[in-house]
Amino acid sequence: MITSIPLVLGIETSCDETAVGIVAGRKLLANVISSSVEEHAKFGGVVPEIASRAHLEAMQGVIRAALSEAKVSINDIDAFAVTAGPGLIGALLVGTSSAAGLALGLDKPLYGVNHLSAHIAVDSLDSDHKLDPAIALLVSGGHSSILQVNELTSDVITLGSTIDDAAGEAFDKIARILELGFPGGPAIDLDARSGNREAVDFPRGLTLAKDLIDHRYDFSFSGLKTAVSRYLAKTPGYIRADISASFQEAVVDVLLTKAIGAAKEVGIEVLIIAGGVAANSRLRESAEERCEKAGIRLRIPPMNLCTDNGAMVAALGSLALTNGLAPSEIGLTADSASGVARAIF
């Protein structure tokens, strides 16, 4: 364990954001993001080759901007952290190579961190609340999971995950059908605000009694996607905002029913909601109402820290360093499919 406050620089390149964050212990000093989302929008989704090239082009400028925002020099950094997985392999390699080069050149420790655990670690920033234990609902474009966080850097148990589409992926697909553009999450959230969320009673996947036997805390959104498509096909006079609101309500209902149920069953009174979908206004609103009713303390990161960012990577690296975890090897290998079994690679 170290006693001084570490200054950690984190690099995130798992998808289409080139992001660098700098933290001093649990204090956020800088969070700079360069997104290539506009380059992907014309294709209706992220193109891996475009993402990798964008990371290469943006990396040096984003690092310099983060150092300037934090008012520190690269020589002041005590350790580097980088997303090592999961994510797009080419994109991950840009980040891990950059971080390894900096760590090697400056003779500083390097921590390869798990992208999913990092989304939870952002909850530690600019606060002094106790971090563990907690139930974490992690919802993003590629992942939907319920995690039991006993100790974030060493003891995280997966209680449930998606068996097909992740929540964010479902938002993107329905937004494409409704011709709302990419990314789908913000577009549907905005469209739904003028709609009636009770207009259509779309199905809630894996919530029937027979489903709960084997998939108590798992998610499935492919059936919901199909139900929306079929409804649109047979209802030519539909109101788009009503479809957006009703679809969004179905997703939010399932996410919170299972997450709050897990917290009550396990006996943990804290629920952390993290990941890009945590920025959804209806999810945040409904979570506050339902957690208050269930007697569960809710924590959701600020909007700017829900989507992929470097601050969350730096936060997890800082926790690992403070807890005395051994650093990763400089020749760190990216893992595109890694789950949450390990926070540090």
Task: Calculate the alpha carbon distances from 260 to 151, 155, 169, 296 in Å.
Answer: 19, 20, 22, 8
Q: Which residue type does 278 have?
A: A
CB atoms within 10 A of CB 27: 13
pLDDT given for residue 294 in this prediction: 98
Average pLDDT per run of 10 along the chain, which is 345 residues long? 80 96 98 88 83 95 98 98 96 97 97 96 93 94 92 94 94 96 96 98 96 96 96 97 98 98 98 97 98 98 95 98 94 85 86
Domains of the chain, first to last: 7-126+306-322 (3.30.420.40), 134-301 (3.30.420.40)
Reading the block at residue 253, the tokens are 């209902």
Predicted confidence at residue 220, as pLDDT, reads 96
Retrieve residue 203's tokens: 């199905």
CB 251 within 8 A of CB 167: yes
Strand 79-85 versus strand 110-114 pairing type: parallel
Say if CB 122 and CB 49 are below 8 A apart: no
Q: What tokens appear for 284 in the block?
A: 């945040």
The pLDDT value given to residue 1: 43
Measuring CA to CA, how many Å separate 264 from each of 249, 260, 271, 296, 326?
22, 6, 10, 8, 34
Query: 157 has which bridge partners?
Result: 148
Long-range CB contacts (< 8 A, 24+ apart) of 117-120? 117/152, 117/153, 117/156, 117/316, 117/340, 117/343, 118/10, 118/12, 118/83, 118/312, 118/313, 118/315, 118/316, 119/274, 119/275, 119/312, 120/147, 120/149, 120/152, 120/156, 120/272, 120/274
Task: Quote the CA–CA distance of 270 and 138 in Å, as a whole number.
Answer: 14
Q: Do residues 46 and 15 make contact, with C-beta atoms less than 8 angstroms apart?
A: yes
What integer pLDDT is reported at residue 244 of this predicted model? 98
Residue 9 neighbours by CB under 8 Å, 6+ apart = 20, 21, 22, 63, 66, 67, 74, 77, 79, 80, 81, 102, 310, 314
Distance set, CA 66 to CA 11, 69, 168, 261, 293 (Å): 10, 5, 28, 40, 41
Distance CA 31, CA 69 (A): 8
Question: Cα angle at 75 between 29 and 18, to 5 degrees?
Answer: 55
